Amino acid sequence: MQTYQQHTYGFWPYLALCLLFILPACRETESTESLPGRTKIFADFFIRYLAPEQQMRGQASFWEGVSWDVQDPLELSGIVSFENRKMEARRLPGDQIRYAETFKEAYEEGLAFRFRNTDGRYLQYEIKMTPVRDFFVKGKISKSEGATFVINGGIMSQEESLVFMFTDEAQQARAVVVEGPSSDIEITIPPEKLQGLTTGPGQLYLVKKQQRAESHPNLELTAAIEYYTGQREVTVEE
């Protein structure tokens, strides 16, 4: 299955940061606030889950500098792990360093990275997102009338979105994005969002995404998670 979009650093997903064995949660205090121009650590995390294959992939990259625009790649000492699995570091073009690990496992709503900061402290962050367990079309998909879907896992926060990936018989793909928040498992897509679709039989899968960021003293974090469902046979009507 072709993925919707390759992850790019700069997504802003949800994450919860805590100091293992030291503090129950990160707290900003007057004595630890970063001074303007002072060097900070920047971290970016990405998770992709392919439900049909039960394939999980975690990625992490780190930098050191004064801002997201002014920083240098950073290779941390100690083990960087995802779901208690050691991640392998790889150098990419542009002298970038990416830690990654891919494995097969049932999806859990809480997924954790763990790493050792430059000051020697071990940090952990967990990202939580309810997956799309199943979905179906309520009625029909019509370019003139719209479409309603019932989605088990369709309730979304402000930081989440659903991407409806339609593929026609000619293998031409079209994406329809619905942004959160939503408080109902029924999601209606208006006709104007379906005008780019080709009428006739095709396939559909969903990608649920979450994007957020957090700022802590001497540490900036961004992360994203994408959950891919299996495909369904659908028909688009005029």
Handedness of CA 148, 154, 159, 164 (dihedral sign): negative
CB half-sphere exposure, 238, CA atoms < 13 A? 0
Angle at 204 between CA 198 and CA 207, to 5 degrees: 125
The closest alpha carbon to 51, from 123, 12, 106, 125, belongs to 106
Helix or strand (DSSP H, E) at 236: strand 232-237
> What is the token pair recorded at 64?
């050191």
* Average pLDDT across the chain, whole number: 86
Map tokens 């939503």 to a residue.
182
**One-letter amino acid identity for 209?**
K
CB half-sphere exposure, 16, CA atoms < 13 A? 10
- Specify the pLDDT at position 1: 55
3 pLDDT band, cuts 50/70/90, is low
Q: Could you tell me how far CA 33 lies from the centroid of its own chain?
A: 28
State percent of the chain over pLDDT 70. 84
Check if the beta carbon of residue 120 is closer than 8 Å to that of residue 148. no
Check if the beta carbon of residue 198 is closer than 8 Å to that of residue 168. yes
pTM of this structure: 0.82
Summarised one tens digit per residue, pLDDT across range 167-193 is 999 999 999 999 999 999 999 999 999
Say if strands 88-92 and 85-86 run parallel, antiparallel, or are unpaired: unpaired
Summarised one tens digit per residue, pLDDT across range 59-95 is 999 999 888 887 788 998 889 999 999 999 999 988 8
CB within 8 Å of 203: residues ≥ 6 apart: 166, 167, 231, 232, 233, 234
What mean pLDDT comes out for the span 135-145?
96
- Specify the pLDDT at position 5: 45
The closest alpha carbon to 43, from 4, 82, 5, belongs to 82
Name the more confident of 135 and 2.
Answer: 135
- Specify the pLDDT at position 189: 97
Q: Is the pLDDT of residue 235 over 80?
A: yes
Give the integer Cα–Cα distance in Å for 232 and 216: 42
116 CB neighbour count, 10 Å cutoff: 14
> What is the token pair recorded at 33?
């606030």
